[in-house]
Chain A
């Protein structure tokens, strides 16, 4: 056998030598590379697993809680604090908190109207003031429980160790707070929903209109070619550029409109056009190209025979589109729309640029409210140096992923359901 076959990876078909001795080697190489290809795929899958693990790992785990005032010191005549009567609890509260705070609590809701559980919660919040001094991840909590217990008894002798799920119903329903264990994502979820609502209301009709125009009406002329090219270019523009467009046009240029001043709203708390409306419009422009491209594909998939049949029966162009083309394109359109929306829900950069508020505790009440959104909240908690904020960031990510997952699942169900009928 020639030396050439041994030294170079020339395959059999372009080698002059008729020997097949290089076959085992070629097969070995093939096996090796196949392994490599598989490995790459496994790496991709493993990263996803690592990512989910990392999030779940931070969402649950042990925490060391230290009370500013121990409940035992507040118990009276051997009766534990939680079993004290309402009057006794009110007396404790009056005794321990400042007069101003007490008056404020009274004016929020008179103590006469509050029940025992409510006052007890107030005592816990204002007097005992439990504070998380240290938190551990899930894996640490499970594998190094002993070491953690030792560390806690040594460093925080007064603290108690307890297992905490950062992702809990309270977390979803309570507003933003500067104390990690009290903070929640309600404001952020509502902000996201408001924003997305505006995005859909603006982007869906525009996107479908453009898709119908380009597929059903547009002849192949200069203007229409420009529109088509332009849409695919827009789809590749980084999202942060849309944020800057929104900042300059909606927040600054159209401030009278987006701050609600045009509609007689003179609320001083609105943020000079940095409102839900601005954010929703910005996201609408952002997903418009994706919506149009998806819509075009769905409309293109409708067979031409359907259109011809309709024309043959004397229908006009719009009647054909409205009664025949759109109904059969609907599943595709809806799936594409849901996917575009789930992209918009996860967008962070444009909202930061448009001017999401960093800290609001009040629910948004109109399109002219200040806003924050779920991804914004995650971003702000992630960049905080304290570890407890990492925990709530992870829990907020879980909320976001659950939201996205349910959206995508509905898209899949929709697709399967309608495609069977067609």
Chain B
């Protein structure tokens, strides 16, 4: 109660030369409720930092344990082409190779198709066609990956086998998994590329038309180069998505690490290996348990690197128009 009656000098009072006395209840008060809420909201935001720290800590710690085991050496990990935990072979290359093969096939499908779809949607399609096509692509993007895996095993693999022969194509193979993964990633590429293409101002297109360019020439020589940074970012993100994709390869690419360049042979990817090992009976502190974290760390670093580069590309090479 004392505070309420006390009088204070204000700045206004000093400027005026005389002291104007203002009741304390009119001054800005510290509202503890507001402060508390702000602190709570900050904690919510900080959870994301904790998640990242958790990921780095868990992957780092278990990987350290893995590499400090007597059977494992860092040099062997990065040079050997054989991964057989049973006999103590821990060379990452068979897994990385299979990941590169499936992602490569996925990119072979997703990049050209995705870019073509994006150009069609942004440059050619009428409003009505877009209103039909965009939801279809969204449905394609919303289907769970395990369904794609089912599709790869029960549709794409039989299809490949009927084209190339049952002898050449194994039941589990990286080509089938990769091709279906391409379809999975296609909506990502097409929607991001389309955003980049539609961000190019109309004036550029109209200038090209005025100079006598056809629609195609405008699209390919004016619009696509102007949107190149966005398209490149989409491609990089797509690669990162393909590398981290799990269920399709776990179902369709094969179980068992194999160092092969034949796309019609079974080979296990990094993600596929993690799923198979952790799906079985896994005891803590076994070498299997630690090894999947080492693979996970590599996977995390690869995808993180790709994501960061992708964002850099957008920021660095974006053409800014008035």
Which residue numbers of A lie inside 8 Å of B, CB to CB?
A: 11-13, 26-27, 29-30, 33-34, 36-41, 43-45, 47-48, 50-51, 54-55, 58, 205-210, 212-214, 217-218, 224, 226-227, 230-234, 236-245, 247-249, 252, 285, 288-289, 292, 316-318, 342-343, 345-349, 352-353, 355, 358, 375, 378-379, 382-383, 390, 393-394, 397, 400-401, 404, 408
Question: Which 10 pairs show the lowest CB-CB distances between chains A and B?
Answer: A238-B244, A346-B144, A209-B44, A40-B116, A213-B41, A37-B120, A349-B246, A13-B211, A30-B216, A236-B307
CB neighbours of A51 from chain B (8 A): 143, 147-148, 151, 155
CB neighbours of A236 from chain B (8 A): 237, 240, 303-304, 306-307
Mask, B191-213, CB within 8 Å of A = 1, is: 00000000000000000000111
Q: Which residue of the partner chain, among B133, B144, B296, contacts A404 with CB atoms under 8 Å? A: B144
* A54 to B116 Cα, complex, angstroms: 26
A237 and B304 within 8 A (CB): yes
CB neighbours of A48 from chain B (8 A): 136, 139-140
Measured CB to CB, the closest approach of chain B to A254, in angstroms, equals 11
Chain A residue nearest in CB terms to B285: A252
CB neighbours of B121 from chain A (8 A): 41
CB neighbours of B170 from chain A (8 A): none
User: In the complex, which of the residues A12, A40, A226, A230 has the most CB atoms of chain B within 10 Å of its own CB atom?
Assistant: A40
B48-56, B70-78, B89-97 - interface stretch: B48-56
B145 and A348 within 8 A (CB): yes
Chain B interface mostly: helix
* A27 to B16 Cα, complex, angstroms: 79
* A289 to B119 Cα, complex, angstroms: 30
Measured CB to CB, the closest approach of chain A to B60, in angstroms, equals 11
B226 contacts the other chain (CB 8 A): no
Measured CB to CB, the closest approach of chain B to A202, in angstroms, equals 10
B266 contacts the other chain (CB 8 A): no
Mask, B109-125, CB within 8 Å of A = 1, is: 00011001101110011
CB neighbours of A226 from chain B (8 A): 49
Q: Which residue of the partner chain, among A316, A346, A397, contacts B31 with CB atoms under 8 Å? A: A316
A-B contact count (CB 8 A): 256
Interface size class of B (residues with CB under 8 A): 35 or more
Q: Which residue of the partner chain, among A27, A210, A355, A401, contacts B44 with CB atoms under 8 Å? A: A210
B292 and A244 within 8 A (CB): yes
A218 and B247 within 8 A (CB): no
Q: A209-B41, A349-B246 are in contact. List 8 more A-B contacts (CB 8 A).
A: A30-B214, A55-B151, A238-B299, A243-B278, A348-B246, A383-B251, A400-B144, A404-B142
- Contact of A393 with B150 at beta-carbon distance under 8 Å, contacts A226-B49, A227-B46 already known: yes
* A408 to B151 Cα, complex, angstroms: 22
- Contact of A233 with B304 at beta-carbon distance under 8 Å, contacts A206-B47, A238-B243 already known: yes
Q: Which residue of the partner chain, among A207, A239, A289, A345, contacts B244 with CB atoms under 8 Å? A: A239
B17 contacts the other chain (CB 8 A): no
Can you sample 30 A-B contacts with CB below 8 Å?
A: A13-B212, A13-B213, A26-B216, A26-B217, A30-B214, A36-B116, A37-B116, A37-B120, A37-B124, A43-B113, A44-B113, A44-B136, A44-B183, A44-B187, A48-B140, A54-B151, A207-B44, A236-B306, A237-B303, A238-B303, A239-B246, A240-B299, A244-B296, A289-B48, A318-B33, A346-B144, A375-B247, A378-B146, A390-B154, A404-B142
Q: Which residue of the partner chain, among A11, A207, A232, A240, contacts B271 with CB atoms under 8 Å? A: A240
B46 and A375 within 8 A (CB): no
A41 and B117 within 8 A (CB): yes
CB neighbours of B274 from chain A (8 A): 240, 244, 353
Mask, B19-42, CB within 8 Å of A = 1, is: 000000000000101100110111
Measured CB to CB, the closest approach of chain A to B182, in angstroms, equals 10
- Contact of A12 with B212 at beta-carbon distance under 8 Å, contacts A36-B116, A238-B299 already known: yes
Mask, B237-258, CB within 8 Å of A = 1, is: 1001101111100110000000
* A54 to B187 Cα, complex, angstroms: 20
- Contact of A397 with B150 at beta-carbon distance under 8 Å, contacts A11-B217, A349-B275 already known: yes
B120 and A241 within 8 A (CB): no
A379 and B136 within 8 A (CB): no
* A409 to B50 Cα, complex, angstroms: 34
Q: Which residue of the partner chain, among A44, A208, A237, contacts B140 with CB atoms under 8 Å? A: A44
B55 and A245 within 8 A (CB): yes
Measured CB to CB, the closest approach of chain B to A240, in angstroms, equals 5
A244 and B293 within 8 A (CB): yes
Chain A residue nearest in CB terms to B58: A248
Measured CB to CB, the closest approach of chain B to A10, in angstroms, equals 10
A352 and B143 within 8 A (CB): no
* A352 to B55 Cα, complex, angstroms: 18
CB neighbours of A404 from chain B (8 A): 142-144
CB neighbours of A29 from chain B (8 A): 214, 216
- Contact of A232 with B311 at beta-carbon distance under 8 Å, contacts A29-B216, A41-B121, A355-B278 already known: yes
B149 contacts the other chain (CB 8 A): yes
B308 contacts the other chain (CB 8 A): yes
B62 and A240 within 8 A (CB): no
CB neighbours of A39 from chain B (8 A): 116
A40 and B299 within 8 A (CB): no
- Contact of A379 with B151 at beta-carbon distance under 8 Å, contacts A11-B213, A45-B136 already known: no
Chain B residue nearest in CB terms to A385: B171
* A342 to B138 Cα, complex, angstroms: 13
CB neighbours of B250 from chain A (8 A): 349, 352, 379
CB neighbours of A37 from chain B (8 A): 116-117, 119-120, 124
